Amino acid sequence: MASLGFLSRFLPPFSGFILACVLAIGLQIFVFSPISPDLLHLPEPSYLPSFPTNTHLQGVGKLGEGIVKDPEDVLVDENGTLYTATRDGWIKRLHRDGSWENWTMLNSQALLGITVTRKGGIIVCDAEKGLTWVDEDGHPKVLLSRVNGSQLRFADDVIEASDGSLYFSVASTKFGFHNWYLDFLEAKPHGQLLKFDPSSLQTLIILEDLGFANGVALSRDEDFLIVCETWKFRCLKHWLKGDEAGKTEIFIDNLPGGPDNINLAPDGSFWIALLQVTSEGWEFVHSSKAAKHLIATTFPSMIKKVNGAYTKASVLHVGADGKIIQKLDDADGKVMSFVTSAFEFEGHLYLGSLNSNFIGKLPLI
Ligand SMILES: *[C@@H]1O[C@H](CO)[C@@H](O)[C@H](O)[C@H]1NC(C)=O
Ligand SMILES: *[C@@H]1O[C@H](CO)[C@@H](O)[C@H](O)[C@H]1NC(C)=O
Ligand SMILES: *[C@@H]1O[C@H](CO)[C@@H](O)[C@H](O)[C@H]1NC(C)=O
């Protein structure tokens, strides 16, 4: 009894102190949270049994090992020259004779999608500066840096149509490239698909409210384009020609990973890189607002645990009709993980990644 009386004298001020701490932490977590999250529905990968997890991507050859840092996107032009944009700001290229060239330095930590242009050279999405054209001589020129008076940020992937217009994605109008996972945790659609006409300098919104707008590709006949929404685990098909022109439908959904870049293959099919955006045992974070706030505000270092992209690689081959043809994985990320792009050229697949110091090259059988 005596000890209880002793406790009761101390409990109120003590619990008051605890309450103050909890309130302070609560304030810190919720009021100063950089996100205003919704819950994210993770899809059931219903057709996985027909495309079992495999290790095909462990058979890649390594191009430019040690020379290319986190090469997010990769392309091969008609003459067989390979281009990639690296994390340290270079556009590097591999000539047919096997020699690498440190082609041009763009001084950016945020180079993402690249595409060839009919004007010669390539166009690069710089998530900090905007759309940049690097001409045949390697001279950079920013084509589009402002949209409606605001800095164009987080341009993610771009494709040029034969009339010269550029279709490009803005992954998030709220979060920047270095905070991309916050867009996932927030799970509110801040992505856009825009069209830029370099002759009129006009920029139009084609689609908005996209769940992390990522890869963009045109069909072989340019009658439709595809844009991938990473945390919606799907890609949309937007008709450009024909009776359905201007309409948008689902191209493929319920994907077994978050779609990143998408590229047209020579036969009219597509290659989509899939990110393992959730990690085993941490899926609950996506269905708890409190957990999202806690991680975004207090433990941003935990994002690496919640994000499974560093543990696995996956690419999907999909027909022009949206039907899956093949899935290639490095199931435990032994050779490649965080594969962000797959580009087919002359019977080989070239793979970019945000966690590699090489380009993967895989013969297609
Ligand atoms: C290109 O850059 C890499 C480092 O990124 C360096 O090791 C290599 O020597 C450079 N090559 C040339 C030809 O300058
Ligand atoms: C490919 O090579 C031809 C002949 O040298 C040249 O005219 C053309 O511009 C090259 N294409 C590209 C994309 O560099
Ligand atoms: C620019 O702002 C106008 C007016 O708010 C809007 O209608 C238009 O869609 C915007 N365009 C882009 C590309 O954001």
More confident position, 120 or 365: 120
Q: pLDDT tens-digit profile of 156-190?
A: 999 999 999 999 999 999 999 989 999 999 999 99
Which tokens belong to 312? 């696995």
Superfamily classification of domain 55-276+312-363:
TolB, C-terminal domain (2.120.10.30)
Residues 234, 272, 287: CA angle, nearest 5 degrees: 35
Least confident of 41-55, 124-138, 209-223, 307-321: 41-55
How far apart CA 25 and CA 316 sit, in angstroms, is 43
Burial of 261 (0-12, 13-18, 19+ CB in 10 A): buried
Residues 173 and 155 sit within 8 Å (Cβ to Cβ): no
Pocket of ligand 3 contains residue 146 by CB under 6 Å: no
* CA 274 remoteness from chain centre: 9
- 166 CA → ligand 3 middle, Å: 17
User: Does the C-beta of 135 come closer than 6 Å to ligand 2?
Assistant: no
**Residue 16 pLDDT more than 70?**
no
CA 108/CA 88 separation, integer angstroms: 7
Identify the nearest ligand to the CA of 76 by its number.
2
Q: What are the residue ranges spanned by the domains of the chain?
A: 55-276+312-363
* C-alpha span between 82 and 30 (Å, rounded): 47
The tens digit of pLDDT for each residue in 210-265 reads: 999 999 999 999 999 999 999 999 999 999 999 999 999 999 999 999 999 999 99
What pLDDT, on the 0 to 100 scale, is given for residue 23? 67
- Summarised one tens digit per residue, pLDDT across range 190-217 is 999 999 999 999 999 999 999 999 999 9
Query: Ligand 1 centroid to 67 CA: how many Å?
Result: 6
Whether 266 has a pLDDT exceeding 50, the answer reads yes
